[in-house]
Amino acid sequence: MLPCGTFSKDYGEDSAVIRTRLQWVITITALVFLFTIPLWGNDYIIGLVSYTCILIIAVLGLQITTGYCGQVSLGHAGFMAVGAYTSALLTIKLGLSFWLALPMAGITAGLSGFVFGAPALRIKGFYLALATMAAHYVIIFILMRLEITGKTAGLHPPPPEIGNFALNTNVRMSYVIISVMVLMTFLAKNLVRTKAGRAFVAIRDNDLAAKVMGINIYYYKLLAFFIGCFFAGIAGSLLGHWWLVITPEMFTIPQSLIFIGMLIIGGMGSISGVFFGVISLRLLEEAVTLFAPLLSAAIPAVGMDIAAPLAGVTFGLVIVLFLIFEPRGLVHRWQIFKVAYRFHPFSYV
């Protein structure tokens, strides 16, 4: 719902994402703020922002596969691993530059999504969800067994370079990560507005009806898997070249489940929902990590290593509450607020 007095005078205006002057101001301020964080932030804040951005890229992919196309993937972290290992191998073994390895990682992850998404041609619903979980298991197993991927010790990807300038600190790398995140958000936002994006939504809502309408559901389901895993691969590659180490243990099934939780909390089928979901769960995780040692100190009986299980319990509780009270996620609350704000003196919509 746009504010009063916003008219569409031609097709371009009608299909524009940013419509009003205020939206331009907010967008530009947000971008400027995001890119100046590395200038003033300390190491903790920069690390937090970079990691959150990487997760946003991964969850954007999951949003397209699951939120838009309705193909639940419980193995998304596995495809992140494919991306991370691909770009690590390309840079270490072949000496390719990171800037070439990054898109290659995305494409390889996308192709692996193609392979493991192929069961989606025949199976759907829960069976597909659990097949993707099996895919995750198989991917991690292969990575842990092969000599070339360093078995359980993993790999040490080099930091990206511009000329001879190595991006080997948190600050330098955060610029890359934030830029890629903005680019991928732009891509995702526009992708779901294309013919393919609308086909995804039709398949999600009722695949048989979509087929009757002339949508090639096999093609679009595979495309959804490819795109979702492409995003995951990009995220994995960035993670590897930022942390400079990747091991199979970094990409777990609980991580994939948390991605799904982020989608639920943010809101399915909405690009801005990804931001709501990822940021709120990340903040929650940080809060739990800070709070856990205090709890251990206050009640010694609970033991010391309680951060991880406590985070699991908190995430679970939050997801339960959202599913019961706001299944459409935070983004729905935000839309309600926006409408109420724009119609302020009037209570109706």
Partner 1 sequence: MSELLQYMITGLMIGGLYALVAVPIVLVFKATEVVSIAHGAVLAFGALFFWFFFVALGLPVWLAILLMLAGAGLLGLIIERFTLRPLIGQPLFSAFFMTVAIYMILDGIFALILKGGAVAWPAFLPTGHVYPAGVRISLSLLTTFGISLLLFGILMVFFRYTRMGLAMRATAEDHQLSQSVGISVQSIFLLVWIISAMVAAVAGIATGNVMGVSYYLPFFIMLKGLVAALFGGLDSIPGALVGGLTLGVFESVAAGYLDPLVGGSIREVAAFVFLLFILIGRPSGVFGLARIERV
| Interface residue list for partner 1 (CB under 8 A) | 72, 116, 118-119, 122-127, 129-131, 133-135, 137-138, 141, 145, 206, 208-209, 212, 253-254, 257, 260-261, 264, 302-303, 305-306, 308-317, 319-320, 323-324, 327
Residue among 194 and 206 whose Cβ is closer to partner 1: 206
C-beta of 34 vs 134, nearer to partner 1: 134
* Nearest distance in Å: CB 138, partner 1: 6
Q: Cα 180–330–315 angle (5° rounding)?
A: 85
Q: What residues are paired with 155 via a beta bridge?
A: 246
Please say which residue, 76 or 241, places its beta carbon nearer to partner 1.
76
In the complex, minimum distance from the CB of residue 123 to partner 1, in angstroms, rounded to a whole number: 4
The minimum distance between CB 200 and partner 1, in angstroms, equals 16
* Closest distance to partner 1 from the beta carbon of 320 (Å): 5
236 vs 329 by CB, closer to partner 1: 329
Nearer to partner 1, 102 or 215 (CB): 215
Closest approach, Cβ 295 to partner 1, in A, equals 10
Least Å from the CB of residue 149 to partner 1: 14
Is the CB of 34 or the CB of 253 nearer to partner 1? 253
The CA distances from residue 49 to 55, 56, 278, 283, in Å, are 10, 10, 11, 10
Q: Which is nearer to partner 1, 18 or 313 (CB)?
A: 313
Q: How far is the CB of 209 from partner 1 (least distance, A)?
A: 5
Say how far apart CA 249 and CA 154 lie, in whole Å: 9
